[in-house]
Amino acid sequence: MKRLNSQLQEDGAPMELILLLRTLLAGCKEIAFRVSQGALAGVLGSTLSDNVQGERQKKLDVISNQILKDILSESGYVKAISSEEEDDVVPCNPEGKYLVSFDPLDGSSNTDINSLIGTIFSITHAPQWMKPDDPSAFLQPGTQIVAAGYVLYGPSAMLALTTGRGTHLYTLDKTHGGFLLTTPNVKVPEKTSEFSINTSNQRHWEAPIQAYINDLLAGTEGPREKDYNMRWVAAMVGDIHRVLSRGGIFMYPYDKRDPSKAGKLRLLYEANPMAFLVEQAGGLAETGTGRIMEVMPTEIHQRVPVLIGSKEEVETCLSYNNKN
**What averages of pLDDT result for each successive group of 10 residues across the chain (324 residues)?**
95 97 97 90 69 70 95 97 96 97 94 93 94 96 98 97 98 93 98 96 95 97 97 96 98 89 92 98 97 97 97 98 77
Cβ contact 228:286 at 8 Å: no
Whether 84 maps to a domain, the answer reads yes
Which range marks the domain in which residue 283 is found? 194-322
Q: Around 48, how many Cα atoms within 13 Å sit in the side-chain half-sphere?
A: 0
Is 119 a member of any domain? yes
The confidence score (pLDDT) of residue 38 equals: 84
Which of 118, 153, 183 is the endpoint of a domain? 183
* Domain assignment present for 188: no
108 is in an annotated binding site: yes
Residue 158 belongs to some domain of the structure: yes
Number of C-alpha atoms within 13 angstroms, CB side, residue 130? 25
Tell me, yes or no, whether 48 and 151 share the same domain.
Answer: yes
Whole-number pLDDT of residue 260? 77
**pTM to 2 decimal places:** 0.95
106 is in an annotated binding site: yes
Q: CB–CB of 77/126 below 8 Å?
A: no
Is 310 known to sit in a ligand binding site? no
Where residue 258 sits, what CATH number does that domain have?
Answer: 3.40.190.80
pLDDT of residue 56: 62
- Residues 84, 167 within the same domain: yes
Among 127, 153, 183, where does a domain finish? 183
Q: Which of 183, 202, 224 is at the close of a domain?
A: 183
Q: What is the pLDDT of residue 49?
A: 64
Q: Is 215 domain-assigned?
A: yes
Residue 270 annotated as binding site: yes
Distance between CA atoms of residues 257 and 12, nearest Å: 45
pLDDT value of position 51: 64
- The reply to whether 133 and 281 lie within a common domain is no
Check whether residue 17 and residue 147 sit in a common domain.
yes
Q: Do 18 and 71 sit in the same domain of this protein? A: yes
Tell me: do 49 and 122 sit in the same domain: yes
Regarding whether 228 and 131 lie in a shared domain, the answer is no
The answer on whether 264 is annotated among ligand-binding residues is yes
Q: Is 198 annotated as a binding residue?
A: yes
Q: How far, rounded to the nearest angstrom, does the alpha carbon of residue 138 sit from its chain's CA centroid?
A: 17
* Counted domains in the chain: 2
Is 107 marked within a binding site? Answer: yes
pLDDT at 133: 95
Q: Are residues 61 and 170 in the same domain?
A: yes
